[in-house]
Amino acid sequence: MREDRFRKAAKERRTLLNAWLTLNNPFLIELIGEAGWDCLTIDQQHGLGGNEALLSCLTAARAADLPAIVRVAENDPGLIGRALDAGAQGIMCPMIETLEDAEAFVKAVKYPPRGLRSWGPYRARLDYEGDYFTTANNWTIACPQIETKGALDQLDDILGLDGVDMVCFGPNDLSVALTGRLDIWASEVKEAMQLVLSKCREMSVMALIFANDADYAKPLVANGWDIVAAGTDAGWFGKAAVEVKRQATTP
C-alpha cells in the first residue's frame, strides 16, 4: 500500500502544498510532480473535463506519486463513487450546508457498515495488498467544504461526525456568505478561518485551505494548516504568460 501522505504529514504537523487543478491536464500533473509539489486537487466543480479527463489525471497522479483529492461537482453518490473507484484518495464536496448534507456525503465515501459506497474499485485497489474492502474506510478521505454560513454554524457537529477526515476552508464563497461581497481579506473571514483551524486541531480533523495566491498562502503555511493550495494551474499559467511577455518586450 502506498504511504498515506495526508495523515502522516498531519501527524508530524507538516504542511503539504496542494496543486489545485482546473485545466485538468495529465502532462501538467507530471510537471507539477517534477516541481516537487506534495499533492493535488482535481477540480470537477469549476474545472475542465468530465470522467475521461478525471481518469487521465488520476493515472498521471499515480505515476507522479501525487496523492489526489477530487472535488466533485455536487453531493452525489454516483460522482463520488466514480472518483473513488478511479483512484482518488480524497473526495471534496462543495456547498455543504447542514449536518445532514455532511452525513449523506460521508455515507457516499465510506463502505458499509459506516456508509453506502458501492463496490467496484477498479483502479483504487491497484496500490493495495490484501483486502481493499476492509481497509478502504481508513484510507479514503471525506472532505466537506466549509464555505457556507450553514456549515460554519454547524461546524462542531460536522467535525464531530464519524468519517469526516478533513475539511476544506473556502474563503471566497464564505466571504460572500458572511459579508455579501467577494473579500477574502475581510475580518469576518479571518475570524472564521482561525475558528476552523482551532476546531480542527481540537477534534483531530485535517485542515485544508484554498489560497488565491502565494501572498495569501504564506501566513497559512506559517500558521500550520495541514494542506495549503496556493492558486490554481490556470492562474499560474496566466501570470507566467504575462511575465514572460513582459520580460521579452522589456529593453
**Among all residues, which ones are annotated catalytic?**
46
Q: What angle do CA 236, 181, 210 make, to 5 degrees?
A: 35
DSSP collapsed to 3 states, the chain: CCCCHHHHHHHCCCCEEEEEECCCCHHHHHHHHHHCCCEEEEECCCCCCCHHHHHHHHHHHHHCCCCEEEECCCCCHHHHHHHHHCCCCEEEECCCCCHHHHHHHHHHHCCCCCCCCCCCCCCHHHHCCCCHHHHHHHHCEEEEEECCHHHHHCHHHHHCCCCECEEEECHHHHHHHHHCCCCCCCHHHHHHHHHHHHHHHHHCCEEEEEECCHHHHHHHHHCCCCEEEEEEHHHHHHHHHHHHHHHHHCC
